[in-house]
């Protein structure tokens, strides 16, 4: 019984501190340049479905110009340093920050460009 | 900008695009229009090339160089494995000694054996006849490389970097000429055709084989042309003159 009280007291003492730490932690990444095509919550939950759906439409049917484009993600989310774009899959950058945090390994960037294309994104 | 005015601007652009680059030589901008956003490639079109090998000489590699730049293909100086979407083939008639040099790329066959053999559906023909590799589902088995009688496909053996945004490519996938599908969808013509025209030779013309009024169809209806290994019956979209 005595042990339990000590544990509870410890927990109560530690909790606020833990809470503050959790708010601070989490992925940090550079801000996007424009307005996203969906609200952030929808994007967080469904971006992979959107991208996969559009990839098949574009690749196999030739449908261009739809709004869930990986090229557009990259062009809006790539940070710039010394006048040059930073790859979105570099540590701490937009794509890498969250995927590293969530231990998700994505295959997009073994093939896809990680910086905006010249002139036309 | 309204639909009507953008169309007018486009037509105006097409007229301005006909530029005399030398006396007696006129470069005509392609009449092709960008497909509207959201619409799929259509079987109403069949994109193809006509290559006049009599205008093409062995020393010129403008098309090959332009392709490498356009598609972001690195030159690793390993000819056996470097990706190559288009190459120059020098041929000689042993009986007569007549030599010529022709660019050879994916022939965008109407009946492509590379599609027939693919176990995953990655090797595919788009509605408008352009044959592509869907690298999202290619497993790198290379059956298609074996099946292609034109030796048109390459395999990416190594990790890649600095890819072009319009040509994603990576290790373990097969790849080949896309007929510059990204340019065609935007109303343009392939990079090789443009580079060849820029040299003043203009040995290649690009256009819609299904459109009787296109320059390519008009020329094909009046002049003799041939296809490489026509005996295989694959109905390639690349036609040659002078071979
Ligand atoms: S040339 Fe080869 S890769 Fe191209 S469509 Fe024909 S069989 Fe397929
Ligand atoms: S290498 Fe890829 S595209 Fe070629 S046959 Fe195999 S899965 Fe299909």
- B62 with B176, same domain: the answer is yes
Mean pLDDT of the region B91-110: 95
Distance, in Å, from the CA atom of B178 to the CA atom of B133, rounded to the nearest integer, reads: 9
pLDDT in tens, A63-95: 999 999 999 999 999 999 999 999 999 999 999
Residues B186, B178: contact at Cβ < 8 Å?
Answer: no
Q: Is the CB of B169 under 6 A from ligand 1?
A: no
**Residue B120 Cα: closest atom of ligand 2:** 7
Q: Is the CB of B115 under 6 A from ligand 2?
A: no
Q: What is the pTM of this model?
A: 0.83
- B1 with B52, same domain: the answer is no
Residues B113, B234: contact at Cβ < 8 Å?
Answer: yes
- B199 with B158, same domain: the answer is yes
- B128 with B222, same domain: the answer is yes
| Neighboring chain A residues of B185 at a CB cutoff of 8 Å | 62, 64
Give the Å distance between the CA of B145 and the centre of ligand 2.
Answer: 8
User: Can you give the pLDDT at residue A78?
Assistant: 94
Ligand nearest to the CA of B144: 2
Contact A62 B160 (CB under 8 A): no
E strand or H helix that includes residue B175 = strand B174-175
- B24 with B98, same domain: the answer is no
User: Can you give the pLDDT at residue A81?
Assistant: 93
Q: HSE (CB half, 13 Å, CA atoms) of B35? A: 20
Q: Domain span at residue B8?
A: 1-31
- B164 with B201, same domain: the answer is yes
ipTM: 0.81
User: Can you give the pLDDT at residue A117?
Assistant: 78
CATH assignment at residue B49: 3.30.70.20
Give the Å distance between the CA of B22 and the centre of ligand 1.
Answer: 36
- Radius of gyration (Cα) for chain A, nearest Å? 20
B186-189 long-range contacts, CB within 8 A, separation 24+: B186/A64, B186/B34, B187/B30, B187/B32, B187/B33, B187/B34, B187/B35, B188/B30, B188/B32, B189/B30, B189/B32
pLDDT in tens, B182-230: 999 999 999 999 999 999 999 999 999 999 999 999 999 999 999 999 9
- Please determine, for residue B18, whether its predicted confidence score (pLDDT) is greater than 50: no
**Averaged pLDDT of chain B:** 89
Residues A88, A74: contact at Cβ < 8 Å?
Answer: yes
Phi-psi region of A44 (alpha: psi -120 to 50; beta: other; left: phi over 0): alpha
Q: Name which of B230, B69, B86 is nearest B154 in CA terms.
A: B86
**Residue B142 Cα: closest atom of ligand 2:** 1
Give the Å distance between the CA of B176 and the centre of ligand 1.
Answer: 9
Between residues A8 and B235, which one has the greater pLDDT?
Answer: B235
pLDDT in tens, A30-68: 989 889 999 999 999 999 999 999 999 999 999 999 999
- B205 with B237, same domain: the answer is yes
Relative orientation angle of helices B62-71 and B191-198, to the nearest 10 degrees: 140
- B7 with B75, same domain: the answer is no
Domains contained in chain B, number: 2
User: Can you give the pLDDT at residue A2?
Assistant: 57
Per residue in A88-119, is it b (16+ CB within 10 Å) or e — as a string?
Answer: bbbeebbbbbbbeeeeeeeebbbbbbbbbbee
- B23 with B69, same domain: the answer is no
Query: Is some CB atom of chain B closer than 8 A to the CB atom of A62?
Result: yes
- B51 with B67, same domain: the answer is yes
Distance, in Å, from the CA atom of B241 to the CA atom of A75, rounded to the nearest integer, reads: 43
- Please determine, for residue B133, whether its predicted confidence score (pLDDT) is greater than 60: yes
State CA B192 to chain mean position distance: 7
- B9 with B100, same domain: the answer is no
Mean pLDDT of the region B159-180: 95
- B52 with B110, same domain: the answer is yes
């Amino acid at each position: 019984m005595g042990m339990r009280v000590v544990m509870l007291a410890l927990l109560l003492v530690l909790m606020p501190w833990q809470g503050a730490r959790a708010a601070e932690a989490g992925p940090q990444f550079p801000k996007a340049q424009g307005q996203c095509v969906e609200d952030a919550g929808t994007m967080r939950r469904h971006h992979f479905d959107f991208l996969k759906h559009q990839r098949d439409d574009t690749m196999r049917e030739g449908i261009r110009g739809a709004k869930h484009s990986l090229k557009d993600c990259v062009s809006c989310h790539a940070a710039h340093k010394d006048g040059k774009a930073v790859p979105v899959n570099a540590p701490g950058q937009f794509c890498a920050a969250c995927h590293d945090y969530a231990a998700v390994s994505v295959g997009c960037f073994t093939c896809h460009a990680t910086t905006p294309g010249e002139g036309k994104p | 900008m309204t639909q009507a005015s953008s169309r007018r601007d486009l037509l105006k652009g097409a007229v301005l695009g006909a530029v005399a680059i030398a006396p007696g030589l006129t470069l005509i901008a392609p009449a092709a229009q960008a497909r509207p956003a959201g619409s799929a490639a259509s079987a109403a079109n069949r994109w193809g090339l006509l290559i006049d090998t009599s205008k093409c000489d062995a020393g010129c590699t403008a098309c090959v160089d332009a392709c490498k730049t356009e598609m972001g293909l690195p030159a690793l100086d390993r000819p056996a494995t470097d990706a190559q979407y288009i190459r120059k083939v020098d041929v000689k008639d042993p009986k007569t000694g007549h030599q010529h040099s022709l660019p050879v790329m994916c022939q965008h066959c109407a009946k492509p054996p590379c599609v027939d053999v693919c176990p995953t559906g990655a090797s595919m023909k788009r509605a408008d006849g352009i044959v592509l590799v869907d690298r999202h589902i290619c497993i790198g088995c290379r059956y298609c490389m074996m099946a292609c009688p034109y030796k048109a496909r390459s395999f990416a053996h190594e990790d890649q970097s600095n890819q072009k945004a319009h040509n994603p490519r990576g290790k373990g996938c097969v790849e080949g000429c896309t007929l510059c599908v990204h340019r065609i969808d935007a109303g343009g013509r392939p990079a090789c055709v443009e580079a060849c025209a820029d040299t003043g030779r203009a040995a290649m013309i690009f256009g819609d084989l299904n459109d009787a009024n296109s320059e390519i169809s008009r020329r094909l209806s009046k002049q003799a042309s041939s296809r490489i290994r026509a005996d295989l019956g694959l109905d390639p979209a690349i036609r040659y003159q002078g071979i």
